[in-house]
Amino acid sequence: MNEQLPALVVVIPLLFSFLIYLMGFIGRRMPYFLLLISSALTSLSSWKLLIRVIKEGPISYHIGGWEPPWGIEYRVDHLNGVLAFVVSLVAFLVILSFRERVEKEVEVSRWSQLYALFSLQLCGLLGITVTGDVFNLYVLLEIASFSAYAMVAIGKKGGEFSAFRYLIFGTIGACCYLLGVGHLYILTGSLNMVDIVNLLKNLPDSSALRVGLCLLVIGIGVKMALFPLHTWLPDAYSQAPSTVSAFLAPLATKVAGYVLLRILFWMFKPTFPSEKVLLEILGWLALIGAFFFSFMAIVQRELRRAFCYLLLSEISLLGMGVSSGNLDGLRGAILHLINDVFMMGCLFTSICAFIHLFENEGLKDLEGLGLKNPWVSLGFLIGGLSVIGIPPFGGFFSKWYLILGTIEGKKWHLLVGLLVSSLINAVLIFKILERIYLKGTHLELSKRLPFCFSVSLLSFSISLLLLGGLASTIVKKVIDPWIFSLGGF
Amino acid sequence: MYEVLRHYNYWLYVLLLALGLYGMMSKANLMKKLIAMGIFQWAIIYYFISIGAKKGGNIPIFPEHGIENLTIRAQDYVNPLPHVLMLTAIVVGVATTGIALALLIKIWQNWNTLEEDEILQRMRNE
Amino acid sequence: MDLQSGRVLMEKESLLPLLALLTPLFGSFLILLFGERRRNLREGTTLVISSLTLLWTFLMLEALNEGHILKKDLFELFPGLWFSFRADPFGMVFLLLSTSLWLIISIYSIGYMRSLNEHAQTRFFFCFSLAILGAIGVALSSNLASLFVFYEILTVSTFFLVAHEESPEALRAGRKYLVYLLSGASLGLFGIVYLWARYGNLSFLEGGFIGEVKDWALTFVFLVTFLGFGTKAALMPFHEWLPSAMIAPTPVSALLHAVAVVKAGVFTCLRILYFVFGAKDFPLGFLLGLSLFVSFTVIGANLLAIREDNLKRRLAFSTVNNLAVILLGGLMLSKEALKGAILHIPFHGFMKITLFMCAGSIYVSSKRERVSELDGIGHSMPFTMGAFTVAALGLCGIPPLCGFLSKWYLCLGTLEASKKWFLLVWLTSAFLDAVYFLPIVYRAFFKGKKDPMIKEAPLSMTIPLLLTALGSVVLGLFPNFLFHLLDLVKMVISSFWGV
């Protein structure tokens, strides 16, 4: 069982998704529990995988027994090990919370379909994370995207139009990625990541290679919602059912962010000639994006749209960390990746809970929540404070490294962007906190939050606190080994 | 200059890519967008397949018997890998089109039109 | 106990610093648990934890007497940077101020909140404990990163206190508060991370670890960091949040002004100046320029105070003045001036908290908030106004109150550092102090008649303020009473300049 872990992580959700769909014909409640079991098993497997990677170093798994570079390889090193674990854990926490919500938002006939889609999406995301083959990544990227398009469309009326636009834009992105893969294949003759790294070392610089790199980055940029390739995200995530955005928001874009890190730092090193220019451009785009998104977040009236823009600005922070291109900037980017999964999971699950309680999405309706339901308020409080970067929560520690990276790299424009966008985000967060804690309420709260929801929210809050305390451990055990394995730092 | 113009397969795919992109961006009708997306995807498929082609290349299938006597040189056979990859990509393209069509049906059911600006208008009125 | 200065102090591991932090932390959650339904238990918790924390503080003081600086390293915040605490003499001064005044203000605020039947009392006491936790953490931190953690906890917890009233003005004041303090903290964070990037060390060391400040980049970073943390110390022109924050209930204003937020700002600035940068060898004229900048606050705040009719706002500007006095004393770079500056931290604390508690009592008894309404109130509330007079005279620098002592050292230090012109600043400031404090006293006792409707505030409020007023007198006569403040200050001085 131990040797099969890299594949298990992907296969379990895949098999379960079919099972869930079939079980939908037999029972109404069964599919949900199957989904829960699926994500629990996946989390366990990814945890064991992570432990194995920390102890033994990168693991290589050959699908079907075919050796790379002819066969497809699943290669788990520290970076994707920790990401796989984080993604499956947060997926589990979100799934834990949302049963009642799904049952309210989606018609009965579609429950099992939606649960199956969740499992399929999880499979796609984890596959992207553990795979070591660039074309396999494309396939899994598309699996994740399809499930996302379908998930966004299930639900209320505006969803399917946003889903269609998402589909068009997402397909352009994936096709750009595929084109990039094509360029790489033409130049190196291989699709295996490790192999490509070795082959690239001997290649002379050529415009084909540069274009390939750019296409890869653009393709991933669409999936990651980097400025200005982000336009699909606010509509898609705010028109989708609240549970779907709670699942997609923390996970999908972050996995794409991981792919960007893999491409820019692991396959093509920063010493690659045109990469410096690329990083510089990325930095400026991220900077503009951070300002733009933070401002947009403040002026929104709907809570979920505001948080979508907050999500976008957090992704821009990731872009800034990447652009610094040095050791600490990279540490900050990876730590930020990990933290952001939890932070966004916390915030979007809180929104889910809030909508569940009040059937309303406006910012105004938050008033007085603090007194009525402590868990939801706690979710907003801790998630919000972490986003701004207030210690002792996780967000502070990644912000520290990001700032450190910009100072060491002498990228003062990024430094200003980091500090100012956090402050602008603080405006949004405290606007919300003010509404929650400092306004009296006329709202009558007739509903109670389901127990699992509260458990999930509490777990998120505690994990954000733990991420703060464990930041040093994470850096030492997981991030640094990966960065030093890159060489050249 | 001749070096660049010679590779007409690339020019073909660039043309199709541009057509597809243009269609996706500028057409208001969702169905037309979908068709343009299809063109975009097929362009990429042509691109991949074209790079595997070789002058005078044979089909990459070995006979069942007598393989020991053959000297196998890679340049005699068309590269099969892009073909295999593109099989997958075609499947992906089909699935994408399928989902898109399903979405279009639902959009038609909900809004009774497939024009983007009209849908936006009706959404705003809601 | 007899603390001796000039002795070499040794570090020793101990759980006490950790206890001093955990007590308010757990206490605050207990307060949340007890809630409004078990208010007496909740209030009892506040009193118990404040007393306990005071106990821990005295135990740490005892250890200093035996020549030990107690420390505790918790865990690594970042690889190579520990979350660690250290009860050194300078930190102990701030710690003693915070914990002793916490006990007093707890008693006072219980009386205040109950008399006014205030809303959201649980939230109030919960945020209060967390704010004190922040102050204690700032005092005990042994490096800039740990300090920053508690600095931000202080900002967030006090935000909810400032906006407590939940009225539109209170919310506006809260937002202004956040804008100023979070922006300042961002600048400070930049400075901290820059220092970490350049020196790989953020621990406080007597005499600093930077050595000579030769290049302008470092000077710029120092300036930015100083100003960033200086927003919490209400340096002009970043002071506006403080008068606006007076909209909060009086125990909060007393807390903000005497204890937690502003003193944390001043404390941090001095820590950076002396324990990180070593306070020497700045580029020519830089410190002079900074001192002039701070003097502007000293005079300007007092001038603005004269114009204020709202009592609490007038006291707010007086605080801005006193904080700048402390910073200016620190910038003089001389033994006596530093002595005066550090002593002024607790001395001003005691006097200002008395003044605020009086303002609160006046509000509770008569609903009056303006100086112009205070005619004759001295006859109706003799004890309260008596305490007010004592504290006001102390802030003007009249012996034998403690305010005189700190100002005396400051003046001495100015002469010692050969910066004679700054004497003018002290004298002008003292003169202006009299201009806006003495009329209040005059009005209270010598104008108007006794209003039979107004009586003294409840005992739970009057006794604390009498205690702190008494404390101002006692500390002026016996500066080493109970807290060994003078000895602690001498220890700090000797660690920088030798004996």
The string of pLDDT tens digits covering residues C297-316 is 889 999 998 888 889 899 99
Among chain A, residues having any CB pair with chain C shorter than 8 Å are 328, 385, 388, 390-392, 396-397, 399-401, 403-404, 407-408, 415, 419, 422-423, 426, 430, 434, 437-440, 469, 471-473, 475-476, 480
CA-to-CA dists, residue A422 to A257, A310, B104, C157, C197, angstroms: 20, 10, 40, 19, 21
Task: Give residue-wise pLDDT tens across range A216-227.
Answer: 999 999 999 998
For residue B63, pLDDT over 90 is answered with: no
For residue C369, pLDDT over 50 is answered with: yes
C203 - beta bridge partners?
A: C143
Chain B neighbours, 3+ Cβ pairs < 8 A: A
Supply the pLDDT for residue A172: 93
CB pair distance less than 8 Å for C79 and A422: no
Supply the pLDDT for residue A363: 65
Nearest CA in chain A to C164: A438
**Residue C193 sits at the chain A interface (C-beta within 8 Å):** yes
- Of the candidates A468, A401, A337, the one whose C-alpha atom is nearest the C-alpha of residue C76 is A468
Supply the pLDDT for residue A92: 94
- Main-chain dihedrals φ then ψ at residue C143, nearest 5 degrees: -145, 170
Radius of gyration of the CA atoms of chain C, in A = 21
- pLDDT higher at C211 or C54: C54
A182 → closest Cβ in B21, B33, B48: B48
For residue A411, pLDDT over 50 is answered with: yes
Residue with tokens 């100083």: C226
For residue A330, pLDDT over 50 is answered with: yes
Nearest CA in chain B to A177: B44
- pLDDT higher at C258 or C96: C96
- The C-alpha atoms of residue A327 and residue A401 are separated, in whole angstroms, by 9
- Main-chain dihedrals φ then ψ at residue C141, nearest 5 degrees: -65, 140
> What's the token pair of residue B21?
């992109």
Cβ contact C392:C355 at 8 Å: yes
A407 → closest Cβ in C81, C149, C197: C197
At position B109, the amino acid (one-letter code) is: Q
Supply the pLDDT for residue C268: 92
- Main-chain dihedrals φ then ψ at residue C74, nearest 5 degrees: -95, -70
Cβ contact A454:A358 at 8 Å: no
CB pair distance less than 8 Å for A390 and C152: yes
> What's the token pair of residue B11?
């020019």
Supply the pLDDT for residue A435: 84
Task: Give residue-wise pLDDT tens across range A213-270.
Answer: 999 999 999 999 998 999 999 989 988 888 999 999 999 999 999 999 999 888 887 7
- Of the candidates C102, C216, B58, B38, the one whose C-alpha atom is nearest the C-alpha of residue A175 is B38
Task: Give residue-wise pLDDT tens across range C156-188.
Answer: 999 988 888 888 888 888 899 999 999 999 999
Among chain B, residues having any CB pair with chain A shorter than 8 Å are 21, 24, 30, 33-34, 37, 40-41, 44, 47-48, 51, 81-82, 85, 88-89, 92, 95-96, 99-100, 103-104, 106-107, 110-111, 119, 123, 126
- The C-alpha atoms of residue C263 and residue A300 are separated, in whole angstroms, by 38
CA-to-CA dists, residue B75 to A203, A427, B52, B64, angstroms: 22, 64, 11, 21
Neighbours of A97 (CB within 10 A): 27
B18-32, C309-323, C448-462: least confidently modelled range: C448-462
Residue C2 class from Cβ within 10 Å (0-12 exposed, 13-18 middle, 19+ buried)? exposed
B37 → closest Cβ in A150, A161, A168: A168
- The C-alpha atoms of residue C422 and residue C488 are separated, in whole angstroms, by 26
Question: In this structure, are strands C10-13 and A73-76 parallel, antiparallel, or unpaired?
Answer: unpaired
For residue C2, pLDDT over 50 is answered with: no
For residue C386, pLDDT over 70 is answered with: yes
pTM of the model: 0.91
Maximum C-alpha span of chain A? 70
- Of the pLDDT bands very low, low, confident and very high (cuts 50, 70, 90), residue A488 is low
The continuous run of DSSP H or E covering B63 comes out as none
Neighbours of B3 (CB within 10 A): 6
For residue A157, pLDDT over 80 is answered with: no
The continuous run of DSSP H or E covering C13 comes out as strand C10-13
ipTM of the shown complex: 0.92
- pLDDT higher at A486 or C9: A486
* Half-sphere exposure (Cβ direction) of A441: Cα atoms closer than 13 Å: 20
What is the average pLDDT score of chain C? 85
Question: In this structure, are strands A59-62 and A73-76 parallel, antiparallel, or unpaired?
Answer: antiparallel
Q: Best mutation site among A422, A430, A465 for testing chain C: the one with the most C CBs within 10 Å? A: A430
- Of the pLDDT bands very low, low, confident and very high (cuts 50, 70, 90), residue C211 is low
- Of the pLDDT bands very low, low, confident and very high (cuts 50, 70, 90), residue A160 is confident
Supply the pLDDT for residue C1: 39
CA angle C467, C243, C299 (to 5 degrees): 90
> What's the token pair of residue A346?
């916390």
Supply the pLDDT for residue A361: 67
For residue A147, pLDDT over 60 is answered with: yes
A404 → closest Cβ in C75, C152, C196: C196
A422 to chain C: which residues are within 8 Å by CB?
186
- Of the candidates C358, C356, C346, C355, the one whose C-alpha atom is nearest the C-alpha of residue C484 is C346
- Of the candidates A92, A90, A129, A95, the one whose C-alpha atom is nearest the C-alpha of residue A463 is A90
CB pair distance less than 8 Å for A135 and B92: no
For residue A316, pLDDT over 90 is answered with: yes
**CB environment C362-386: b (16+ within 10 A), e (fewer):** bbbbbebbebebbbbbbbbbebbbb
- The C-alpha atoms of residue C25 and residue A57 are separated, in whole angstroms, by 40
Neighbours of B89 (CB within 10 A): 25
- The C-alpha atoms of residue C366 and residue A288 are separated, in whole angstroms, by 55
- Of the pLDDT bands very low, low, confident and very high (cuts 50, 70, 90), residue A440 is low
Find the mean pLDDT for residues C355-366. Answer: 89
Find the mean pLDDT for residues A63-89. Answer: 88
Supply the pLDDT for residue C169: 87
The continuous run of DSSP H or E covering C123 comes out as helix C121-140
The continuous run of DSSP H or E covering B46 comes out as helix B30-52
Find the mean pLDDT for residues C402-425. Answer: 84
Cβ contact A36:A23 at 8 Å: no
Nearest CA in chain A to B124: A158
> What's the token pair of residue B106?
């639902």
Q: Best mutation site among C78, C123, C146, C187 for testing chain A: the one with the most A CBs within 10 Å? A: C78
- The C-alpha atoms of residue C91 and residue C72 are separated, in whole angstroms, by 14
- For A100-112, the DSSP string reads HHHHHHS-GGGHH
Helix (H, G, I), strand (E, B) or coil at C86: strand
Maximum C-alpha span of chain B? 75
- Of the pLDDT bands very low, low, confident and very high (cuts 50, 70, 90), residue C267 is very high
* Half-sphere exposure (Cβ direction) of B11: Cα atoms closer than 13 Å: 7
